[in-house]
Structure 1
Amino acid sequence: MSGAARSAAANHFRGALARWPKDPLRPECQLQDILAKRLEKGKLAPVTAGAKQEQADIKQANALYSLLEDRYKNKVCAFWHLQGTCAEANLAQYRPAAKIFEPQSNPTYYKDLVKELEEAPTRSWLQRLGKRLSGIVRMG
């Protein structure tokens, strides 16, 4: 492969990074920024024995797209669709039971966790400090 193939891999990688969602919990540390720095250095992926850098870069970009598009979930749906069976019925067997999301020791644990993750990015520094201190007092 040539420099053109390498450039194609870099463009492919940039396209995936442009579509990647922002992390509201850590706005100062985004995956896009870290991978863009890696792209500037020229090596997107470490080279394994017998592979060329260009091939490794393209594989890395394709892996990023597969995560972005959730291809693994879609492959399961496509498999059941090709079988001609009801996809919902077959996918239901892979869904975890509802009781897993409501542990007996703390039935609202996961609901509280989601609520906390949604509220955290909008807290002021004083609210964050108060949360941290209340956690320290509780643990102590």
Structure 2
Amino acid sequence: MSGAGRRALTEIRRAVERWPHDALRPDCQLQTVLAKRLEAGSIAPASAASQSAGAREDAERKQANALFALVENRYITRHRLSDRMMKPKFNPTYYEDLLAEIEEAPNRSWTARISKKLRGMFRLK
């Protein structure tokens, strides 16, 4: 592997180290999947094996750039969402409620999860 390919893999390793932990799915983390691919020596998919070395290195460099863009939230800073988008008229607190639910979900007990599920199934008004 050339120097450019090694640099791309090093950048991907750095991005994987900075990737946030997923509390909703603790048994399935992106870091572990990418780490296994990096141990194999390449992050490129198996279909890329037939490509030339230069094309593979270019693809790995693009993947490293995409990972860093996600880790650093480049898209959220570049493409801001308006208040109209984040506070729809039909339910202005929808996204705040959704975020609160996502933050609360990993810490719920088994009985709390079951009761929440049952309450969602049988909504009485």
Same fold (TM over 0.5): yes
Residue identity matched to 2:13: R
The match for 1:108 is: 93
The answer as to 2:17 corresponding to 1:14 is: no
> Distance in 2 between the 1:125 and 1:67 partners?
33
Seen in structure 2, the aligned counterparts of structure 1 residues 69 and 119 have a Cα distance that, compared at 3 Å, is same
The 5-angstrom pairing of residues 117-136 of structure 1 reads 117-136=102-121
The match for 2:70 is: 67
* Bigger Cα Rg: 1
Question: Which runs of structure 1 show a deviation greater than 4 angstroms over 4 or more consecutive aligned residues?
Answer: 48-51
What is the Cα-based RMSD across aligned positions, in Å? 2.8
> Distance in 1 between the 2:101 and 2:28 partners?
20
> 5+ residue gaps in structure 1?
77-90
Seen in structure 2, the aligned counterparts of structure 1 residues 118 and 72 have a Cα distance that, compared at 3 Å, is closer
The one of the two structures with greater contact order (alpha-carbon pairs below 8 A, sep at least 6) is 2
> 5+ residue gaps in structure 2?
none
Q: Give yes or no for contact 2:9–2:42 (8 Å, CA) kept in 1.
A: no
Q: For 1:48-77, what per-residue CA distance to the aligned partner results, in whole angstroms no more than 9, with x for missing partners?
A: 966522222122112211221233455x5x
> Distance in 2 between the 1:107 and 1:53 partners?
46
Indicate the SS of the match to 1:106: coil
Normalising by structure 2, we get a TM-score of 0.75
Percent identity (aligned): 47
The match for 2:57 is: 54
Seen in structure 2, the aligned counterparts of structure 1 residues 27 and 68 have a Cα distance that, compared at 3 Å, is same
Indicate the SS of the match to 1:25: coil
Indicate the SS of the match to 1:52: helix
Normalising by structure 1, we get a TM-score of 0.68
Which shows bigger deviation, 35-44 or 130-139? Answer: 130-139
Indicate the SS of the match to 2:122: helix
Q: Tell me by how many angstroms 1:116 deviates.
A: 0.8
Residue identity matched to 1:70: N
